[in-house]
């Protein structure tokens, strides 16, 4: 056999091997990209995976498999993690596994810490008991304070000795799995401190309120008296005029707060006559603490109350939540008669 023919066969063999290698590489690349960008089978709505401290990529893949996800080959996950710069950089947290999610999207989320966010809404007008009861039902919020008394709770938020009522700002707080109720309470307390300081700084110069704490107390009363935004400054102004002239506030929500667990949904004449630190029918001035969690709008209403001469108000009685205002007791009595007429009319319609 000639050297020329031998070298020709060798060249052909090299070419065949090269073509085969390219074909294998192309097949491997297609399979890899098909894996990386193909929806993971077994995922769905409300599914998630939790990456804990120390979890490696193989551990995470095993967790996916245990949850019923078809994970494919481990080597494909390793190659994809290396390509995305996620190897050894998976962040702790809870990650969503919606239907259609791909390995690429999931690893990018874990690399970037795009964890699931949960929300807890602190409702305007809640008292501390209602707030703690709602926190106890919030999931997946970890329960750290459930067995604590109020003194221990306030010590944990950094305010030992402070009464907890009114000290947590109503708004929606975003948290992630692993956060506790104490985390939310600390944020809500800090938010209220900032909101109160801002409102106090904007107060009118002729306010009868002597301290930010007194502003918080009055704002909590305004919060409980009306849910109508435009009425808050009117009611705040009315109460401030009463404080200036030495009139009793005579507001039912403070009496109800003083009754505590004894309140059954009805307030009676005997309740108005029974003295407690919160009975503003028997005691002048503000009650000793807030009676609820006031929102920013109530704080701002107390900081900038409406001017005028009104000293009395009563519900319209038509179910709207609105009030009738009066400057004199005679006007107020007329409004009370109007309230009773509207109330009876609303009751008769409801009975039909």
pLDDT tops 90 at residue 40 = yes
Calculate mean pLDDT across residues 201-226.
97
Give the pLDDT score at 23.
Answer: 44
The number of helix segments (H) and strand segments (E) in the chain equals 13, 6
pLDDT in tens, 218-265: 999 999 999 999 999 999 999 999 999 999 999 999 999 999 989 998
**Residue 34 in domain:** no
Q: What's the pTM? A: 0.83
What is the phi-psi region of residue 207: left when phi exceeds 0, alpha when psi lies from -120 to 50, beta otherwise?
beta
Number of domains in the chain: 3
User: Quick one: which of 216, 213, 226 has its CA closest to 253?
Assistant: 226
**Residue 19 in domain:** no
Q: Is 347 found in the same domain as 210?
A: yes
Domain boundary among 83, 116, 149: 116
Q: Is 217 found in the same domain as 317?
A: yes
Q: Are 202 and 303 in contact (CB under 8 A)?
A: yes
pLDDT in tens, 101-158: 999 999 999 999 999 999 999 999 999 999 999 999 999 999 999 999 999 999 999 9
Q: Is 164 found in the same domain as 258?
A: no
pLDDT tops 50 at residue 25 = no
Tokens 């004449």 label which residue? 269
H helix or E strand, kind and range, residue 296:
helix 296-303
Domain boundary among 116, 137, 159: 116
Domain CATH number, residue 107 = 3.30.1490.480
Least confident of 31-40, 65-74, 93-102, 289-298: 31-40
User: Quick one: which of 129, 39, 32, 122 has its CA closest to 75?
Assistant: 32
pLDDT tops 90 at residue 301 = yes
Q: Is 347 found in the same domain as 220?
A: yes
Domain boundary among 66, 100, 116: 116
**Residue 15 in domain:** no
Cα–Cα distances in Å, from 109 out to 33, 66, 84, 95, 99? 18, 20, 11, 8, 15
User: Quick one: which of 148, 241, 126, 248 has its CA closest to 192?
Assistant: 126
196-200: Cβ within 8 A, 24+ apart: 196/299, 198/299, 199/296, 199/299, 199/300, 199/302, 199/303, 200/303
**Residue 25 in domain:** no
Q: Is 143 found in the same domain as 190?
A: yes
Domain carrying residue 214: 204-351
pLDDT in tens, 60-114: 999 999 999 999 888 999 999 999 999 999 999 999 999 999 999 999 999 999 9
pLDDT tops 60 at residue 343 = yes
Cα–Cα distances in Å, from 60 out to 14, 33, 52, 75? 42, 20, 9, 14
Give the pLDDT score at 31.
Answer: 54
**Residue 165 in domain:** yes
């Amino acid at each position: 056999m000639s050297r020329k023919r031998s070298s020709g066969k060798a060249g052909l063999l090299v070419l065949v091997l090269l073509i085969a290698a390219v074909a294998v590489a192309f097949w491997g690349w297609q399979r890899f990209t098909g894996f990386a960008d193909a929806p993971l089978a077994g995922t769905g709505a409300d599914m998630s995976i939790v990456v804990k401290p120390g979890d490696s990529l193989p551990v995470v893949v095993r967790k996916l498999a245990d949850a019923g996800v078809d994970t494919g080959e481990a080597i494909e996950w390793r190659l994809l993690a290396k390509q995305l710069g996620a190897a050894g950089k998976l962040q702790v947290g809870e990650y969503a596994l919606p239907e259609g999610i791909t390995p690429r999207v999931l690893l990018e989320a874990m690399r970037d810490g795009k964890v699931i966010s949960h929300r807890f809404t602190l409702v305007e007008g809640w008292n501390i008991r209602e707030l703690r009861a709602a926190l106890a039902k919030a999931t997946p919020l970890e329960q750290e304070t459930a067995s604590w008394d109020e003194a221990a709770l306030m010590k944990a938020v950094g305010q030992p000795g402070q009464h907890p009522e009114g000290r947590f700002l109503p708004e929606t707080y975003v948290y992630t799995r692993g956060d506790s109720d104490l985390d939310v309470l600390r944020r809500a307390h800090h938010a209220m401190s900032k909101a109160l300081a801002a409102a106090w700084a904007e107060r009118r110069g002729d306010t009868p309120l002597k301290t930010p704490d007194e502003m918080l107390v009055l704002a909590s009363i305004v919060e409980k008296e009306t849910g109508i935004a435009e009425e808050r400054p009117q009611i705040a102004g009315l109460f401030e005029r009463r404080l200036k002239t030495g009139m009793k506030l005579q507001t039912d929500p403070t009496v109800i707060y003083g009754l505590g667990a004894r309140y059954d949904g009805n307030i009676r004449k005997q309740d108005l006559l029974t003295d407690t630190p919160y009975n503003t029918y028997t005691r002048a001035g503000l009650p000793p603490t807030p009676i609820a969690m006031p929102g920013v709008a109530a704080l701002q209403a107390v900081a900038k109350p409406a001017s005028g001469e009104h000293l009395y108000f009563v519900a319209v009685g038509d179910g709207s939540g609105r009030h009738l205002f009066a400057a004199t007791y005679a006007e107020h009595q007329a409004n009370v008669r109007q309230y009773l007429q509207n109330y009876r009319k609303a009751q008769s319609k409801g009975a039909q």
